[in-house]
Amino acid sequence: MPEDRDCLANLIAANKSYEQKFDKSELDAKPIKRISILTCMDCRMNPYEFAGLKEGEAHIIRNAGGRATDDAIRSLIISHKFLGTLDWFVIHHTQCGMATLNDEIIGELLEGDLETSIFEDGVWKNPDRVTSDNTKAGSDAGKSIHWHTISDLQESVSGDMKKIKSHLLVPSHINIYGFIFDVKTGSLIPVK
């Protein structure tokens, strides 16, 4: 099946169709169920579906790995302080790409070039490619970034929960729950 690369036209067409049936203009910015979910950006996961939610019921915060980065915690704090959420869920998942990497690998791949890497035989690598001037375009700037990779799934969830809970701007009455989403079964597995 050929890849459809006319993504801008497709997005505009889809939005026109959505606009015709849009009925959410009366929803409040405050989530009805007063929950926030921090989870991965993996496209196999639909937080609204796996948590039984509808639009307007929760805040969904997504990043690579679903990690409690400074920016994710900033969003959670805003979610509570200004929009009233009281229950926060940290949900990582099985077969996460962030568990196949570490900071060193990411830095080296970016230094090699800035284009998309491939996962082959259990290893990430840059395919052989050369730019028009016969040089590889990369940068060592990726070596100075903490990428929040995952070495142990249970530990990443519990560590992120502890990090959020101990943040100076997170009230002690916020409930923080941790789960691992199984991408093969759709199950949420609790993490203590």
pLDDT at position 131 is 65
With a CB cutoff of 8 Å and minimum separation 6, the contacts of 127 are 117, 118
pLDDT in tens, 73-91: 999 999 999 999 999 999 9
Binding residue positions: 40, 42, 93, 96
Q: List, as residue ranges, the binding site for Zn(2+).
A: 40, 42, 93, 96
Please check the confidence at residue 19 and state whether its pLDDT lies above 90: yes
Domain boundaries, the chain: 27-99+148-191, 103-144
In the predicted structure, residue 157 carries a pLDDT above the cut 80:
yes
Which tens digits make up the pLDDT trace of 20-36? 999 999 999 999 999 99
**Long-range residue pairs from 6-9, CB within 8 A, at least 24 positions apart, any chain:** none
What CATH architecture does domain 27-99+148-191 belong to?
A: 3-Layer(aba) Sandwich (3.40)
